Amino acid sequence: MASPDDSEQTSDKLYTPQPGEAQLTARAVIAGCLIGGVVSAMNIYFGLRTGWSIGGSLIAAILGYSLFSAIKPKTAYSRLEANITQTAGSAAGSMTSAAGLLAAIPALGMLGFELAWWQLVLWAMSVAYLGVFFAVPLRRQMVLVEKLRFPTGTATAETIMAMFSEGGDAEEKSRALLKWALAAAVFTLAAYFIPQLGHPEGPYLGIIAGSALLIGGVVEYSRGNTQRALFLAILAPSALLFGDRLPFGGLEAVAAWGFSVLISPLMGGAGILIGPKVAASLFAGAVFSWGILGPYVQSQGWAPESIMSYDGGVRGWVLWPGVAIMVADAMTQLLLSWRTILNTFTRPKGSEAAAEDSPANQSIPNIWWIGGLAVSTTATTAAAAFVFGIPWYLTLMAVAMSSVLAMIAVRSTGETDINPIGGMGKVTQLVYGAIAPGAMTTNLMAAGITGAGASQAGDMMQDLKTGYLLGASPRGQFKAQLIGIAAGVFFCVPIYTLFDKAYEIGGEELPAPAAHAWKAMAELLSKGMDALPPHALAAVIAGCVFGSVMAVLSKHGPASVRKYLPSGLAFGIAFIVPAYYSVAMFLGAMIFMVWKKKNPTAAEKLGFSIASGLIAGEGLMGIVVAVLTLLGIEPLT
């Protein structure tokens, strides 16, 4: 294929910068760091409850634009400044994942390894920059030559263009996000003092259901739907009087297995974001694991202790097939991406002649990323030895593996918008299970290095794609990314430390499903089959087969079958978290689907903002609740 000429190189760009247009300004960077810091803080709460984290690019772009629209500065806020804001914001927001605070670090905590806040800061600052330096030399090939889509990066660029051409949309989205965040925060605080609001049972369930029906009746009456309003008004007293007989209200036996009502803005918002297929997979996994498999295991006497006990209870038993499904799904998906992996290390004909799209004074000098990589590698090696006692040569091997796996992660992100951090970590754990058997700390933190590289490399390349489409300076984005990472560390580490003191991470309040998967993998590689509870080996084998088959069929199965297949990852997560989490996310997704059917335009326009607001409101108020818990302030009921 012939090398494209300059005109073809720029034909896919969305914007041509104006002469002298502001880019890397202090206000844009500060706004991005603050918004991204908030995203990283809420990701602690969100990720430790669900196993997922949220990118900060779109949130930072929307809120940054809205902030400066409200302030109305003398010098107008520019599109390229919005790009810097989203770059710094996404860098800060991704630090929760890059620092290992959702997987490797809490997994270590479950194994009894305690870390001081300054050790977490030292570790996070050491590993966070590896992925950025890995990503820089890949920009030319992935963005300029092959023009991979990078869906989130492309969507962010298109959102920035839409906001500046139609300011009303951006302000409406921002208002929706802030309004629902405030509502979620108020509800979360109220539910702390009156726990029955968030987890209603018996009469409390009736009060909430009846109130919801009454409010729905008022809304329908205001819209002129008299018949619907009357119907809801008639149902409301019944719910108030017979709440303890409603499904899951008085059924204590069912509720003991986790099938109780959870009213959580965060889980509802998560349901909107993950979509109906993943939400249905969670629900199906919950029904199978907690409704069928768990009771069977207990009836056979294989897990005689209390249901929710990890030590001898059903929860500790079903954890293993759940982890097996997650690991098999991640590894199989990685193997099925062999063409993507192969393309990472091959270069299409003519790519050597591809023209650079930025002037020399805007491109990133080689000495910056090469020197940065040397410094960050040295810092990571020193931190790993000082904090975790990992020999220097094992850390260097992890960094080398991370550089290769980060390339794969970047390509996967560019093609599918999925960054396989979990899969990258499992590959590293398997390798270190062989070269450092029995060393669980080394196993986890080597995988943490790989996860950090994959996380930040994928995030950086999404941002560079946004910048490319807007004609921005890569050098300016590079600087904003470095600053944003530092800001994210000083937001997420204190919040993680706070939650670690206030709650049992890995327990019922913060189940940390990703961390349980990493911990289980490290234990299995260290102790062999002795790590498994009685009779769990068959379930692990079945889980591996199921996860692998689902991954293969979802990629290569008939189209008529694929749409009905569950997500293996989500199905497996449902084994690890209490069932009411999966049910709550499923209900959130279903409510959104009903809204989308009735008003598709509004749902498409505001769905992301509302979901982000719900998650942010509960996530940030969760920090306040943790402080109240530490202060010993008791609930009212």
Q: What is the pLDDT of residue 248?
A: 44
Residue 615: which pLDDT band, with cuts at 50, 70 and 90? Answer: confident
Three-state secondary structure of 78-140: CHHHHHHHHHHHHHHHCHHHHCCCCCHHHHHHHCCCCCCHHHHHHHHHHHCCHHHHHHHHHHH
Tell whether the model's pLDDT for residue 210 goes beyond 70. no
C-beta of residue 44 within 8 angstroms of C-beta of residue 489: no
Average pLDDT over residues 600-620: 85
Number of residues in the chain: 637
- Minimum mean pLDDT among 220-224, 261-265, 356-360: which range? 356-360
Q: What is the pLDDT of residue 405?
A: 79
Token pair 């911990």 in the structure block, residue: 519
pTM of the model: 0.77
**pLDDT tens-digit readout, 469-488:** 999 999 999 999 999 999 99
Q: What is the pLDDT of residue 88?
A: 96
Measured distance CA(356)–CA(249) in Å, rounded: 64
For 373-410, b where at least 16 C-beta lie within 10 A, e where not — what string? beebbebbbebbeebbebeeebbebbbebbbbbbbbbb
- Minimum mean pLDDT among 229-243, 358-372, 454-468: which range? 229-243
Q: What is the pLDDT of residue 235?
A: 63
Cβ neighbours around 364 below 10 Å, total:
21
Cβ neighbours around 458 below 10 Å, total:
31
Measured distance CA(440)–CA(431) in Å, rounded: 12
Between 608 and 464, the more confident residue is: 464
Tell whether the model's pLDDT for residue 635 goes beyond 90. no
**pLDDT tens-digit readout, 46-70:** 889 877 777 788 888 888 988 898 8
Residue 10: which pLDDT band, with cuts at 50, 70 and 90? Answer: very low
- Looking at every residue in the chain, the average pLDDT score rounds to 82
Measured distance CA(6)–CA(582) in Å, rounded: 51
**pLDDT tens-digit readout, 253-263:** 666 787 777 88
Cβ neighbours around 596 below 10 Å, total:
16
**pLDDT tens-digit readout, 309-349:** 877 888 889 888 988 887 788 778 767 766 665 665 555 54
Cβ neighbours around 515 below 10 Å, total:
28
**pLDDT tens-digit readout, 226-268:** 777 677 666 666 555 555 554 444 445 666 787 777 888 888 8
C-beta of residue 276 within 8 angstroms of C-beta of residue 270: no
Q: What is the pLDDT of residue 345?
A: 55
Residue 3: which pLDDT band, with cuts at 50, 70 and 90? Answer: very low
Q: What is the pLDDT of residue 353?
A: 41
Measured distance CA(362)–CA(594) in Å, rounded: 48
Between 372 and 520, the more confident residue is: 372
Measured distance CA(174)–CA(67) in Å, rounded: 9
Between 499 and 222, the more confident residue is: 499
Residue 466: which pLDDT band, with cuts at 50, 70 and 90? Answer: very high
Average pLDDT over residues 491-499: 93
**pLDDT tens-digit readout, 174-188:** 788 888 889 998 998
Burial category of 8 from C-beta neighbours within 10 Å (exposed 0-12, middle 13-18, buried 19 and up): exposed
C-beta of residue 440 within 8 angstroms of C-beta of residue 111: yes
Q: What is the pLDDT of residue 254?
A: 66
Token pair 């006692």 in the structure block, residue: 389
Tell whether the model's pLDDT for residue 213 goes beyond 70. no
Main-chain phi, psi angles of 510, to 5 degrees: -130, 85
Among 592, 324, 633, which residue's Cα sits nearest to residue 502?
Answer: 633
Question: What tokens were used for 279?
Answer: 């939400």
Tell whether the model's pLDDT for residue 81 goes beyond 70. yes
